């Protein structure tokens, strides 16, 4: 499932509306460290605005709006605002669930469904312990 959304901005300069937008691949962001990028410079670059220009300053005075979310990102988009922190937690939880499913399929195929349901919380706890150990 692809997780993405569009970031856009519109502002006026000398009576003319200027618009910029970017497609954001949230999966790529999460796979490369999980840090949401600064979008104003990228939006400016997409319409060839110099970051030292008056137009750029005008752009900075407007909020970035988000739309066209897909995948898990849909749940964290509301009123043109995106909750990246909540998305990040959900994305990591979803990733963990998929990894646990893969481990269960590979190593625990002989277990009954009821037994697997009891084992999965233990696997999730072990996964989290491994993550915490790697942070140190």
Q: Where are the domains of the chain?
A: 4-82, 93-135
Q: Does pTM top 0.85 for this prediction?
A: no
Residue 136 has pLDDT above 60, yes or no: no
- The pLDDT assigned to 56 comes to 96
Q: How far apart are CA 34 and CA 2, in angstroms?
A: 15
For the stretch 28-36, contacts whose Cβ atoms lie closer than 8 Å and that sit 24 or more positions apart, written own/partner, are: 30/3, 30/88, 30/91, 30/92, 30/95, 34/88, 34/92, 36/84
pLDDT tens by residue, 31-90: 999 999 999 999 999 999 999 999 999 999 999 999 999 999 999 999 999 999 999 999
């Amino acid at each position: 499932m692809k997780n993405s959304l569009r970031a856009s901005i519109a502002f006026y300069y000398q009576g003319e509306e200027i618009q910029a937008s970017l497609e954001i691949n949230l999966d790529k962001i999460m796979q490369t460290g999980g840090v949401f990028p600064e979008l104003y410079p990228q939006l400016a670059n997409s319409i060839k605005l110099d970051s030292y220009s008056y137009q750029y300053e005008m752009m900075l005075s407007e909020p970035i709006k988000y739309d066209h979310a897909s995948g898990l990102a849909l749940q964290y988009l509301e009123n043109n605002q995106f909750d990246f922190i909540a998305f990040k937690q959900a994305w990591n939880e979803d990733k963990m669930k998929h990894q646990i499913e893969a481990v269960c399929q590979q190593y625990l195929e002989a277990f009954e469904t009821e037994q697997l349901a009891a084992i999965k919380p233990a696997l999730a706890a072990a996964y989290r312990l491994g993550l915490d150990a790697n942070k140190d």
